[in-house]
A and B are shown apart, each in its own frame.
Chain A
Amino acid sequence: MAEADRIMLFTERAKAASAEVLGPAPKSGLAEEIGRALSAGRHPRAVAHPSLLTIHPWLEFASSDCDLVRHADLGIIAARYGIARTGTCVYEPSNSAERLIALLPPTCLILLRTADIVADIGALAAAFDDRHAGVAQSLFITGPSRTGDIEHVLTLGMQGPGRLVIALWHEDT
């Protein structure tokens, strides 16, 4: 499957799983894209995975402090992979606080580089075999937290984020 097809399929499937998908935008235009999408909701207390500060210098906040994460309105993480067929983001936190950035705040923003989108879950198996340590604490995220436990009515935000925004980006050309 060509990269353009993977991006298209990923976008379709992630939206079908109730995620919002932005982009793809060039890396330099990503901040503006995200700013527009999130301006509707105010997120004064945002936390981001520390590694994002070096990748996206426009981010000014980062924390691995559990207490900060617990009280944040917005958690920002970067996905290591995307899975097109299921609209899934694969996040690889290295500790529990980093995992909680994706789970505790009511809104989660995931940055995903389009070149990292694979076609199917099977494509990950080989990558996982090569990188045992990296995948040890992986978290697959497909849409926001949900439940259908009462009368099968789909309700978002049961335990984790009720809003999931995925920002697709690519290197500037």
Chain B
Amino acid sequence: MKRRVDDALGSPVLRHALADFSARYVKMRKAAFGGLDFEAIRDEVVAVKERAISERERLQREFAEKLEAKGGRVHRADDSAEANQIIRGILEEHGARKVVKSKSITSEEIRLNKALEGAGLEVTETDLGEWIVQLAGHSPSHMVIPAIHMDRNQIAALFSEKLGEEVPPDIGGMVKLARRHLRRALTEADAGITGANIAVAAAGTLIIVTNEGNGGLATSLPRIHIALVGTDKLLPDWPSAMSILRALPPSATGQRMSSYVSFLTGPALEKQHVILLDNGRRRMAESPDFRQALRCLRCGACLNVCPVYRIIGGQAFSHVYMGGIGTILTAFIHDRDAACELAKLCSGCRACATVCPAGIDIPFLIEKVAGLAAEENGLGPIEWLLLRGVMSRRRAYHALMTSLGKAGGILADKDGMLKIGAGALPSADFRAIPVVARESYRSSLSGRDAREEKGERIIFFTGCLADFVYPETARAAERLLSSVGFETAMPTGQGCCGLPAHHLGDAGTARRQAAEAVKSLSAEGAEPIVTVCPTCLHAIRSLWPELLAGTELESEARRIAARAVGISSFLIARADKLRFAPAKQKITYHDSCHVKNMGEGEELAARRLLTIAGYELVETGENSCCGFGGTFSVNQPGISEKMLSARLDSLSGTGASCAATDCPGCVLQIRGGMARRSVRFLARHTVEYLAEALVDSDD
């Protein structure tokens, strides 16, 4: 995998194309869903697909019965080999030699082209992007836009070589040329092979969605139509089909509706054969965790917003199904070991979960895939040492951090960054690493008894970075909370939230950490739990109840989840009590992934607070991920570096000399990257800027 990732990182064409498409997609998707309630549409898709998964056996029977009554024939294939054998048999039986295909990712899944060409058949892909990658001998790099990795010059050179005529790099001209070639292939073909986006059991109807119209042509011109359909595409009736059609085009291509939606019931000309393919889908349906992945519409929305995909593209995944959902599908359909490797490409940003029209918790399932690897192969030595040896033993972990803090002076350069780096870990040297603070936030509290303080009380869950590396963040938060009338209490039993361990597939360690934290917080009453770390907030809200489900701590974990709140949301509700001396400084804001993808408006609250404090807020054009992702930036330094570089460019491009963010992890990444660039640009937590402008009530 490393070689493929390195190849992708070395391709500026790919990176430019992906970044350009990704930025455009976000706007187009938003416009296409304009005026609609996306959450309601998503809920409907979830309900429709869940029903279809529960009734999958009945739907297969009903579909077959209805289609065969219309003159079609239904076959069932358990796996790729059987599906290929059936399709070859059908073509042989009807004396077909020339085959055209309309884009079908399910046919890629079974490597159909290879099987047919091996049997001496002439196969032509008719979707332009698929045809380009077929001519080039490449694998598709996107589920919807297969040739996204090639630019017009590369395609013109390819056409010139393969079609035997000089083709200039003019897109309109190349499209006309392709139309001519593909129209000939379509008219001369004996058989058209397609997939289907939907199969309606009640009517025996296939629904094929395309923009070019090749789905309609490949099923109407050749005398034989063969459709390869995953059993997950079956739906009970028309209303359920319409629910999917409402969600699919905006999610796939940012269109309200694709140009052509073809309904096919029975043979258009002589014969129609439909192969219902299982290939791991039954196993997925039977898994309580992974069943939800069968809701996937193959729209590719998760790829389009994935900050890692937009750097490395789909070919680096080396399997048909790419990106986050690809990692999950690959584990069941192709190769579990390969999927476990792919899981390491996830930065855990959760952008995919926000756009998935089928409500699949993709990041959670990727962590489950990582967990399968850890269960079967054990943790790597570094992960074992870090997670089991250090972080799972809270007291030992904190003692180590305290010792590192004491040694910080020796290890630090003049900016407080670790002196070693380039020599020891060249691949990770794209950003400077801060040393542990001389005095942690928790150490600074010793001797103070919060319970004797006046005012209402909140429980402060600092997270590791604000406790040990950036205690100034925790102190700023404490000061702001005090200003709005709250005294902070930090239960010293709090340790790591468990999210890093869970992300690396070590659910056991994560569960222990969650249990310890829940016990520590449950002893503290019913006050709000405020945190300055969005990753911890996500862990408290979602991960702890999930990890502790079925244990005696489950109900307590749910109560604690309901009490947790981010610092900016907490403060904005009490902003009338904050007094600022207007800061009058130009500042930009970096959206942490866990802030913006939690969908709670924490980033909006932070922006409003900064404005109230008198800062002149300037926005970056696009709010992309900084590439931190906790352990991701250590495991995937090459990708992390490219993500960081793009983000630093956009932050610097605002003309501001400092950035606020609500995530200590992003502070670490951005500050470290700017230090390597030797640029005077300060990145700090929002609360530090607010505290700087704060006028204390007794001033």
Assuming A95-B268, A157-B179, is B259 touching A17 (CB within 8 A)? yes
Stretch at the interface among A23-31, A33-41, A45-53, A121-129: A121-129
Which residues of B sit under 8 angstroms from A157, Cβ to Cβ? 175-176, 179
Q: Is the CB of A152 within 8 A of B203?
A: no
Q: Is the CB of B179 within 8 A of A158?
A: yes
Stretch at the interface among A57-65, A109-117, A135-143, A165-173: A135-143
Contact for B145 among A122, A132, A152, CB less than 8 A: A152
Instruction: Name which residue of chain B comes closest to A143, CB basis.
Output: B259
Which residues of B sit under 8 angstroms from A140, Cβ to Cβ? 257, 260-261
Stretch at the interface among B121-129, B278-286, B373-381, B426-434: B121-129
Count class of interface residues, chain B: 35 or more
Within 8 A of A (CB), among B153-178: 155, 171-172, 174-176, 178
Which residues of A sit under 8 angstroms from B682, Cβ to Cβ? none
B213 at the interface (CB under 8 A from A): yes
Closest chain A CB from B435 CB (angstroms): 45
Q: Once bound together, how far apart are the Cα atoms of A144 and B210, in whole Å?
A: 11
Q: Is the CB of A147 within 8 A of B263?
A: no
Q: Is the CB of A129 within 8 A of B238?
A: yes
Count class of interface residues, chain A: 35 or more
Q: Once bound together, how far apart are the Cα atoms of A138 and B263, in whole Å?
A: 5
Assuming A70-B187, A96-B269, is B146 touching A149 (CB within 8 A)? yes
Assuming A121-B242, A155-B175, is B17 touching A96 (CB within 8 A)? no
Q: Is the CB of A146 within 8 A of B171?
A: no
**Centre residue among A16, A147, A161 by max chain B CB count within 10 A:** A147
B214 at the interface (CB under 8 A from A): yes
Q: Is the CB of B145 within 8 A of A149?
A: yes
Within 8 A of A (CB), among B506-542: none
Which residues of B sit under 8 angstroms from A153, Cβ to Cβ? 171
Which residues of B sit under 8 angstroms from A13, Cβ to Cβ? 256
Stretch at the interface among B75-83, B215-223, B295-303, B459-467: B215-223
Which residues of A sit under 8 angstroms from B649, Cβ to Cβ? none
Which residues of B sit under 8 angstroms from A126, Cβ to Cβ? 239
Instruction: Name which residue of chain B comes closest to A127, CB basis.
Output: B238
Which residues of B sit under 8 angstroms from A88, Cβ to Cβ? 257
Q: Is the CB of A158 within 8 A of B257?
A: no
Q: Once bound together, how far apart are the Cα atoms of A132 and B70, in whole Å?
A: 12
Instruction: Name which residue of chain A comes closest to B267, CB basis.
Output: A96
B265 at the interface (CB under 8 A from A): yes
Instruction: Name which residue of chain B comes closest to A124, CB basis.
Output: B242
Q: Once bound together, how far apart are the Cα atoms of A59 and B243, in whole Å?
A: 38
Q: Is the CB of A152 within 8 A of B24?
A: yes
B664 at the interface (CB under 8 A from A): no
Contact for A139 among B146, B216, B221, B238, CB less than 8 A: B216
Q: Once bound together, how far apart are the Cα atoms of A70 and B174, in whole Å?
A: 22
Q: Once bound together, how far apart are the Cα atoms of A155 and B170, in whole Å?
A: 11
Assuming A124-B242, A125-B242, A139-B263, is B256 touching A149 (CB within 8 A)? no
Which residues of A sit under 8 angstroms from B17, Cβ to Cβ? 151-152
A44 at the interface (CB under 8 A from B): no
Contact for B238 among A120, A128, A159, A161, CB less than 8 A: A128
Contact for B211 among A86, A122, A125, A145, CB less than 8 A: A145
Q: Is the CB of A149 within 8 A of B129?
A: yes
Assuming A100-B221, A121-B246, A158-B175, is B212 touching A146 (CB within 8 A)? yes
Q: Is the CB of A147 within 8 A of B260?
A: no
Q: Once bound together, how far apart are the Cα atoms of A159 and B126, in whole Å?
A: 9
Q: Once bound together, how far apart are the Cα atoms of A129 and B609, in whole Å?
A: 54
Q: Once bound together, how far apart are the Cα atoms of A103 and B256, in whole Å?
A: 20
Closest chain B CB from A148 CB (angstroms): 7
Q: Is the CB of A147 within 8 A of B212?
A: yes
Q: Is the CB of B257 within 8 A of A86?
A: yes
**Centre residue among B70, B155, B179, B213 by max chain A CB count within 10 A:** B213
Which residues of B sit under 8 angstroms from A139, Cβ to Cβ? 216, 260-263
B337 at the interface (CB under 8 A from A): no
B182 at the interface (CB under 8 A from A): yes
Assuming A17-B259, A150-B155, is B220 touching A100 (CB within 8 A)? yes
Q: Once bound together, how far apart are the Cα atoms of A88 and B178, in whole Å?
A: 26
B500 at the interface (CB under 8 A from A): no
Q: Is the CB of B259 within 8 A of A144?
A: yes
A6 at the interface (CB under 8 A from B): no
A85 at the interface (CB under 8 A from B): yes
Assuming A148-B145, A149-B132, A155-B175, is B127 touching A142 (CB within 8 A)? no
Instruction: Name which residue of chain B comes closest to A131, CB basis.
Output: B238
Contact for A159 among B182, B264, B269, CB less than 8 A: B182
Binary flags per residue of B195-238, CB closer than 8 Å to A gives 1, else 0? 00000001101000001111011011100000000000000011
Q: Is the CB of A158 within 8 A of B20?
A: no
Instruction: Name which residue of chain A comes closest to B21, CB basis.
Output: A152
B61 at the interface (CB under 8 A from A): no
Q: Is the CB of A150 within 8 A of B147?
A: yes
Which residues of B sit under 8 angstroms from A85, Cβ to Cβ? 35, 256
Which residues of B sit under 8 angstroms from A148, Cβ to Cβ? 145, 211, 253
Closest chain A CB from B355 CB (angstroms): 18
B654 at the interface (CB under 8 A from A): no
Q: Once bound together, how far apart are the Cα atoms of A99 and B246, in whole Å?
A: 23
Q: Once bound together, how far apart are the Cα atoms of A164 and B207, in whole Å?
A: 22
Contact for A122 among B21, B132, B242, CB less than 8 A: B242
Q: Is the CB of B220 within 8 A of A103?
A: yes
B258 at the interface (CB under 8 A from A): yes
Q: Once bound together, how far apart are the Cα atoms of A17 and B211, in whole Å?
A: 11
**Centre residue among B17, B178, B256, B262 by max chain A CB count within 10 A:** B256
Instruction: Name which residue of chain A comes closest to B225, CB basis.
Output: A96
Q: Is the CB of A142 within 8 A of B263?
A: no
Q: Once bound together, how far apart are the Cα atoms of A13 and B213, in whole Å?
A: 19
Instruction: Name which residue of chain B comes closest to A128, CB basis.
Output: B238
Which residues of A sit under 8 angstroms from B241, Cβ to Cβ? 125
Closest chain A CB from B42 CB (angstroms): 15
Q: Once bound together, how far apart are the Cα atoms of A159 and B150, in whole Å?
A: 21
Which residues of A sit under 8 angstroms from B202, Cβ to Cβ? 132
Assuming A122-B242, A151-B171, is B214 touching A135 (CB within 8 A)? no
Q: Is the CB of A87 within 8 A of B212?
A: no
Instruction: Name which residue of chain B comes closest to A66, CB basis.
Output: B221
Which residues of B sit under 8 angstroms from A158, Cβ to Cβ? 128, 175, 178-179, 211-214
Closest chain A CB from B31 CB (angstroms): 9
Which residues of A sit under 8 angstroms from B129, Cβ to Cβ? 147, 149
Q: Once bound together, how far apart are the Cα atoms of A78 and B256, in whole Å?
A: 22
Q: Is the CB of A145 within 8 A of B212?
A: yes
Instruction: Name which residue of chain A comes closest to B263, CB basis.
Output: A138
Instruction: Name which residue of chain B comes closest to A102, CB basis.
Output: B216
Contact for B213 among A96, A135, A137, A145, CB less than 8 A: A145
Binary flags per residue of B89-113, CB closer than 8 Å to A gives 1, else 0? 0000000000000000000000000
Which residues of A sit under 8 angstroms from B127, Cβ to Cβ? 149
Which residues of A sit under 8 angstroms from B176, Cβ to Cβ? 157
Which residues of B sit under 8 angstroms from A135, Cβ to Cβ? 203, 205, 238, 263
User: What are the 7 tightest A-B residue pairs by CB atom distance, in nearest-first order?
Assistant: A160-B213, A136-B265, A140-B261, A149-B129, A86-B257, A96-B268, A96-B220
* Residues of B near any A CB (own CB < 8 A): 17, 20-21, 24, 35, 70, 126-129, 132, 145-148, 150-152, 155, 171-172, 174-176, 178-179, 182-183, 186-187, 202-203, 205, 211-214, 216-217, 219-221, 237-239, 241-243, 245-246, 253, 255-266, 268-269
**Pairs across A and B, CB under 8 Å, 5 listed:** A13-B256, A16-B256, A152-B145, A159-B213, A159-B214
18 further interface pairs, Cβ-Cβ under 8 Å (given A104-B217, A150-B132): A87-B257, A96-B219, A122-B242, A124-B238, A125-B238, A125-B239, A129-B239, A141-B259, A141-B260, A142-B257, A146-B211, A149-B132, A150-B171, A152-B17, A155-B175, A159-B179, A160-B212, A160-B216
* Residues of A near any B CB (own CB < 8 A): 13, 16-17, 70, 83, 85-88, 95-96, 99-100, 102-104, 120-122, 124-126, 128-129, 132, 135-153, 155, 157-161
